[in-house]
A and B are shown apart, each in its own frame.
Chain A
Amino acid sequence: MCPPATDSTVTGGTAPALELRGIDKRFGTVHANRGISLSVARGSVHGLIGENGAGKSTLMNIVYGFHQPDVGEILVGGRRVHIAAPHDAIAAGIGMVHQHFMLVENFTVLENVVLGVEQGAVLARSLAHARGELEKLARDYGLDVPLDTVVSELPVGVQQRVEILKALYRRAEILILDEPTAVLTPQEADALFKMLGRLRAEGKAVILVTHKLREIMAVTDRVTVMRQGAVVGEVATRDTSPRELAEKMVGRAVLLRVEKAPAKPGEPLLAVRDLEVRDRLGVARVKGVSFDLRAGEIVGVAGVSGNGQSELLEALAGIRAPARGAITLGGHDLVAQNFGPRERRRLGLAHVPEDRLRMGVVTKFSAEDNAILGYQDRADYQRGPLLNRASIRADCEKKMTAHDVRPALPLLRISAFSGGNQQKLVLAREIDCDPQVLLIGQPTRGVDIGAIEFIHKKLVALRDAGKALLIVSVELEEILGLADRILVMNNGEIVGELARADANEEKIGLMMAGVKEAHA
């Protein structure tokens, strides 16, 4: 579309590595990117920060050729480029490490690196060439990976290195990392940041997409803040503060703390003893976990995602059968008696699942059909052998009003609601039968700020009403804000327990990395 010669007067030496001018993109009625301009210098790490849904991913997907901008242009090294597909982005020297790795799981590292940049139709030569090149790159950047191992056998941290190697092997000058630390411990993240420093020193341009302020402050040179599809600020990192960035992200002063009185824990309502959960391959994911959950307290489970928290939550909810151990609730051993989700709900155990869209709702169903999910057997929803549509609808309307779900239309498809409103409806559904114990996974994932405050207040109110709450979250800030007691999980074990008063981010971070309390 645009011949690359138009801006040829600009010399490569001083031009920014990547420049975006007036990028605008709509998806139907959603205005995902509004006239975004951005400039990233060579030899710098540029942070791109914003809430979920602020448009960061859309913007990066445009740069990488997954989407086409409606308006706007992209310049690489001062030259206008047309990026119609990832192929063009790679040719322009742009590499991207996606949040979910783009690796073929049953291929070796070497095959994954070569895929798409083979030399010639026969493989052997390409593989030999890549092997030499990769060994050199590994030395230069300290990116050690076993080249002949099948990717699915590698830990996530190593898989991420494979992704970076892939980009470097393609001679990327601009490297985009999308939420790279979501799967890493704070310590692994630090190692990654050191590596990014080395890339910066080599003169590469690094774009770090994240919603974590700590990372921005730790490694970036400049930071661009996005909100609702638009750039709302760009500053040198040393001239700003986390609070200022947070306010820019959200658009107003943020309540970083949840207002709550000290907890008054009562009787233990849920007791977990020596719980072991195995995955389908027989690998233990939760290893001998024991704890009590008392009335009137919020217990937070912290950990890098993938360390057994999800499996713990699902075992407690009756979705996964544990290999051994006991879960006691209201005088019943849920494991020994083989109680499923249905029986557990009847005993007063409610569950807001971690991944709402995967488990908490049926996206193609209406709001009212989703408002009975898991409670479809309740007597007041039945009329003889049939479902009582009228009472289901009235009940849904009631929940929507009580929990400020907007729009309050029971017949609207759940997928037409925003994440926050979906989550409010799920929460309304789960607390409707007055449960004594509430399991909540990622209470505010994909939820807008307004709804976050609402949900947090609601959870504290439930605690104050004497319920027992277990919250699993990968957002350390959320755990620190809500929990009265914190359990830290690493590799399937509870490696530490802290009262809120004794906890801070650093302590928890070390525990998340597997350093036991005693050595901390």
Chain B
Amino acid sequence: MSAPRKLPRWAELGLLPLVNLLAALILSGVVVKILGESPWAACKLMLAGSLGTQDGIGYTLYYATNFMFTGLAVAVAYHAGLFNIGGEGQAYIGGLGSGLVALWLGDRAPFAVVLPCAILGSASFGAAWAFIPAWLQARRGSHIVITTIMFNFIGAALMTYLLVNVLIKPGQQSPETREFGAGAFMPLASDVLAKVGITFAATPLNFAFVLALLAAVLVWVLVWRTRWGYAIRVAGQNQSAAVYAGISPPRIIVQAMLLSGALAGCLGLNELLGAQHRILIDCPGGAGFVGIAVALMGRNHPVGIFLAAVLFGALAQGGSQLSFDMPKINRDMVVVIQGLVILFCGALENMFRVPLAAMLSPFAKKQKPAA
């Protein structure tokens, strides 16, 4: 058992994730082969379906918006040394927050008023759902991985109760609310582009995509360019050093998780205000878990997260294309690929590190041992 060898920075940030991704895709290809379809054809179908048409690109970026929010949520927690596995529940409850604002204001206020309120609603509800596990970790030492999982289930139960018993549109069978008022509809990309004279296919891609990009920039500035981000990173790396530096780890845990939950909560802006226009059962649809894959793949950096989110968006969109054209494959295949990507980019990330380091070492300049 040799220790993981050091890779040069470009290989660590670029080559290694690509190699891991490739391994996951090759294995996915094997699964497709087992299903009796051609991996090559499937690959081409997915590419064409996700990035080959305006339609595909629109859907890809629409999915990517969800994944950016949840991926950023995982990354912020990660930098504070926390594994927030509760993005799903935070996104769900955050959706409730934005949805309530939309139900309340959608009919009586213009979008310019609804938007800030909806952002506040989703972020505060998401943050609130992250707060309890965060506080329990900070003050009572309860393991946040377990508590956030529990809160996913508690959140799901709460939402089912609310949708079935409280928020359901009267006289309706399926547990969903009434449609939001038009003031709460996120502007669609196709409409906005049409105004400046560009025709773009009608897809759910909406203004929330821009918000997600802004969130990515915000996270970058906060984490890498402010005192607060410095404190988060110190506390995430070394709690003793944080205490020594006058940084309170419990406070950081709570603050970082509030931001993390708020980011996850913003999923509702895209999914509910942008696409569904109502609150419905299981609106995050697993995006909270995909966020883990996105953050891992993107090395917890906003740029990486953007790229990984687009990749996963393309997978989601390409996967639905695939299920249309290949009768033996359904959308679940995408979930398989997501799982494999997490496996190779996350859990097995060390597997290729050693051989890669060995392959690259002839090119690396000789390092002098530090005196």
Contact = CB atoms under 8 A, between A and B. Distances in A.
In the complex they form, do A and B come into direct contact, defined as C-beta atoms under 8 angstroms apart? yes
B371 interface: yes
B245 A373 contact: yes
Contacts of A369: 230
Nearest to B246: A342
A387 B226 contact: yes
Contacts, number: 78
Contact of B241 (A318, A362, A389, A407): A362
Among B225, B243, B246, B371, which residue has the most Cβ atoms of chain A within 10 A?
B246
B361 to A, nearest CB: 10
B363 interface: no
Given A341-B243, A345-B246, A365-B237, A386 B225 contact: yes
Interface string A364-390: 110001001110110000100111010
A191 B240 CA distance: 36
B230 A359 contact: no
A418 interface: yes
A365 B245 CA distance: 14
B243 A373 contact: no
B244 to A, nearest CB: 5
A377 B227 contact: yes
A1 interface: no
A28 B368 CA distance: 11
Given A341-B246, A382-B227, A386-B226, A418 B241 contact: no
B234 interface: yes
Nearest to A339: B246
Interface string B331-352: 0000000000000000000000
A374 B237 contact: no
B225 to A, nearest CB: 5
Contacts of A376: 227, 230-231, 245
Contacts of B246: 318, 340-343, 345, 374
B244 A387 contact: no
Contacts of B240: 355, 358-359
Given A351-B244, A362-B238, A387 B230 contact: yes
Interface in A391-418: 406-407, 416-418
A8 interface: no
Interface in B234-283: 234, 237-238, 240-241, 243-246, 248
Contacts of B369: 29-30
A374 B230 CA distance: 11
A360 interface: yes
Contacts of B238: 358-359, 362-363
A360 B231 contact: no
B138 to A, nearest CB: 16
A361 interface: yes
Interface string B201-240: 0000000000000000000010001110011011001101
A358 B238 CA distance: 7
Nearest to A344: B246
A362 B226 contact: no
B367 interface: yes
Nearest to A341: B246
B280 to A, nearest CB: 39
Contacts of B231: 376
B371 A385 contact: no
Nearest to A364: B237
A345 B245 CA distance: 9
B370 interface: yes
A353 interface: yes
A351 B246 CA distance: 12
A421 interface: yes
A372 B234 CA distance: 11
Contact of B371 (A340, A364, A387, A406): A406
A319 interface: yes
Contacts of B368: 29
A317 interface: yes
A372 B246 CA distance: 12
Nearest to A27: B3
Given A374-B246, A416-B370, A387 B241 contact: no
Nearest to B248: A340
B221 A360 contact: no
Contact of B245 (A29, A341, A421): A341
Contacts of A341: 243-246
Contacts of A29: 367-369
A340 B243 CA distance: 9
Nearest to A374: B245
A356 to B, nearest CB: 10
Given A387-B227, A418-B370, A319 B243 contact: yes
A369 B241 CA distance: 12
A369 B233 CA distance: 10
Contact of B370 (A318, A364, A421): A421
B140 to A, nearest CB: 13
B371 A418 contact: yes
A389 B229 CA distance: 13
A432 to B, nearest CB: 14
B371 A360 contact: no
Given A365-B237, A386-B221, A406-B371, A360 B230 contact: no
Contacts of B234: 362, 365, 373
A149 to B, nearest CB: 27
Contacts of A27: 3
A407 B244 CA distance: 26
Contacts of A355: 240
Contacts of A361: 241
Nearest to A365: B237
Contacts of A406: 370-371
B242 to A, nearest CB: 9
20 contacts: A27-B3, A29-B368, A318-B246, A345-B246, A355-B240, A358-B241, A359-B238, A359-B244, A362-B233, A362-B237, A365-B233, A365-B234, A369-B230, A374-B245, A377-B227, A386-B221, A386-B225, A386-B226, A416-B370, A417-B370
The 7 closest A-B pairs by CB, nearest first: A342-B246, A341-B246, A374-B245, A359-B240, A362-B237, A359-B244, A386-B225
Given A365-B233, A421-B370, 14 more contacts: A29-B368, A341-B243, A353-B244, A358-B241, A359-B243, A360-B244, A362-B233, A362-B238, A373-B234, A376-B227, A376-B230, A376-B231, A387-B226, A406-B371
